[in-house]
Amino acid sequence: MKQVPAGSATLEFDGIEIDLSGVTASAGDSFSFNPMAGAAEGIGRAINSAQDFAAADASGGGVGNNLNLEEMLKIQNEKLIGGSTLTEAYSSLVGTIGSNARAVKSGISSAEIDLQTKYDAKQALSGVDMNEETVNMQMFIQYYQANAQILQTATTMFDSLLSIK
């Protein structure tokens, strides 16, 4: 709380000046300051007649004569966007979007086919064919069994030669 200097009739702070002349102030008095008091006193209406609002038509035909609605509906047939009506422009936009979507979908299908073709070619060169691997495994088993018989025969022959003394 700020004290009013002795002998002064005004109080100044933050760019605000309060004139206390003509007020009998005693020690311990307090004053409240409402900066918004009376702020809207000078505000008035610029439009005084309901006929001047946008909802009413200029002909003065009165409420419910739907002339504003008719004017809004006329916009539907006016050439506004690139020489086209709103309906024509919307139809054109929908058609363009549909055409672009179809082209993208076709491109996706083509890319998927291309990917599958390349994957199949890669698998043919470097992929594992389980049938081929099974045949190779059986062939190696037969080689192993044949070599085991050769070693057994050789061992029997060496034993026979060593026993002849």
Residue ranges per structural domain of the chain: 81-125
H/E element, 98: helix 86-126
If phi > 0 it is left, if psi is from -120 to 50 it is alpha, else beta; for residue 125 that is alpha
Q: How confident is the model at residue 12 (pLDDT cuts 50, 70, 90)?
A: confident
Residue 60 confidence (pLDDT) above 70 = no
pTM of the entire predicted model: 0.37
Read off the pLDDT of each residue in 50-75 and give the average, rounded to a whole number: 67
Q: Which of 22-31, 67-76, 101-110, 144-153 has the lowest mean pLDDT?
A: 22-31
5-9, 20-24, 63-67, 102-106 — which one is most confidently predicted on average? 102-106
Query: 3-state class of 12 per DSSP?
Result: strand
- Of the two residues 71 and 156, the one the predictor is more confident about is 156
Average pLDDT, the chain: 82
Report residue 19 as tokens. 């004139």
Q: How confident is the model at residue 27 (pLDDT cuts 50, 70, 90)?
A: confident
